[in-house]
């Protein structure tokens, strides 16, 4: 398999991986704030913030791979 074909196949993995990583990190961050660090109830805020960062990073990685293919 050529390297360009492999890069094209990993585009979807970058998008999905960024979203999943953002969700997991956001959930862990909120749980850490609520139970461990400051006892602050911030459940949806950290989840949405890290989800947004995960989506942005997934699209950025996919864009970089698309530029390598061309």
Is residue 21 within 8 Å of residue 55, measured between CB atoms?
no
Query: How do the domains of the chain map onto residue ranges?
Result: 3-69
What's this model's pTM, rounded to 2 decimal places?
Answer: 0.81
CA distance 18 to 56: 8
Per-residue pLDDT of the chain (70 residues; tens, 9 = 90+): 677 778 778 888 989 999 999 999 999 998 888 887 677 777 888 899 999 999 999 999 999 988 887 7
Is residue 64 within 8 Å of residue 32, measured between CB atoms?
no
Q: Which residues contact 60 (CB under 8 A, 6 or more apart)?
A: none
């Amino acid at each position: 398999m050529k390297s360009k074909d492999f890069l094209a196949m990993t585009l979807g993995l970058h998008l999905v991986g960024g979203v999943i990583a953002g969700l997991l990190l956001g959930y862990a961050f909120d749980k850490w704030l609520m139970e461990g660090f400051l006892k602050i109830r911030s459940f949806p805020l950290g989840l949405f913030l890290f989800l947004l960062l995960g989506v942005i990073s997934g699209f950025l990685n996919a864009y970089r791979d698309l530029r390598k293919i061309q």
